[in-house]
Amino acid sequence: MRAKLIDGKAIAEALREEVKQKVAERVKKGLPAPGLATVLVGENPASQVYVRMKHKACQEANIISTGNVLPANASQAEVEDLVHKLNADANIHGILVQLPLPAGLDEERVLNTISLQKDVDGFHPINIGRLAQKGREPLFIPATPAGVMYLLEDSGVELSGANAVVLGRSNIVGMPVALLLVKANATVTICHSRTKEIPALIREADVLVAAVGIPEFVRGDWVKPGAVVIDVGVNRIEDETRKSGYRLVGDVAFDEVAEVAGAITPVPGGVGPMTIAMLLHNTLRAARLADGNGMANAA
């Protein structure tokens, strides 16, 4: 029996509509609409596209977004000064520095400069540190890992006691997802480029999160029958039959794995749409924190 398709696009649209409604409720009560500021340094084409997408999503959710652009040759001090300025602006509830930054800039120092209460990307060391500690909760969770967990929860996947394998150990996806799965009481194995017998480990997984960045790396005979497969990868491969000359595939060989798995996310249309939806959710959360209502009312 072919796997159930986890429709990230539909789930993300429902979440975005929920955020939009909650923003409208805030404004009706006389509270300010959430404000998101983006910081783009340089002219990286992919980064420009991502930032435009985020502003468009904000506009649709009635979140006020402002773009801040610096040249590629901006100094470390100029970038950090801009972030300090945004930290001090009461109309800005969330700050997103688009990564990667141009060569020569210290990303960690820039991310450290963002106010903890405005770190809607969830990459501040304190937020990541809280995520890694038992009994501690971060103010914000990185958007893509949060989106992965949202898809699992929305799909009714039982994580407590499950064997979970995370393929990839990046700071942006792999490691935060692994920490979130541990918090959900799963038993987690992290696979990476030095891991031996990766197929054998994946065959033990009740839940597989693939975020390794290698096109169609995971094959059908690697997957445990009935497993839930979340494919975070987005890879371009040449395809002369397409007008663009390429098509997008994940880190999982979808057609093969879909014949074995119990549920699977497609690429595109799986995890990708969730990233922006969770960013909007985090920005709303940041506005609620700024209201002074505290953690209890910020969810």
The annotated binding site for NADP(+) is made up of: 168-170, 234
Length of the chain: 299
Judge whether 59 counts as a catalytic residue: no
d(CA 149, CA 76): 34
Phi, psi of 121 (to 5 degrees): -80, -15
Give binding residues as ranges: 168-170, 234
**Do 213 and 233 form a contact (C-beta atoms < 8 A)?**
yes
Contacts of 150 (CB under 8 A, 6+ apart): 11, 15, 274, 277, 278
20 assigned to active site: no
Give me the catalytic one of 121, 206, 231, 251: 121
146: left (phi over 0), alpha (psi -120 to 50) or beta: alpha
Query: What's CA 253's distance to the chain center, in Å?
Result: 22
Active-site annotation holds for 231:
no
- Among candidate residues 7, 54, 206, 224, the one labeled active-site is 54
User: CA–CA distance from 265 to each of 129, 131, 225, 228 (Å)?
Assistant: 29, 25, 16, 9
> What burial class does residue 18 get, using C-beta atoms within 10 Å of its C-beta: 0-12 exposed, 13-18 middle, 19+ buried?
middle
Catalytic residues: 54, 98, 121
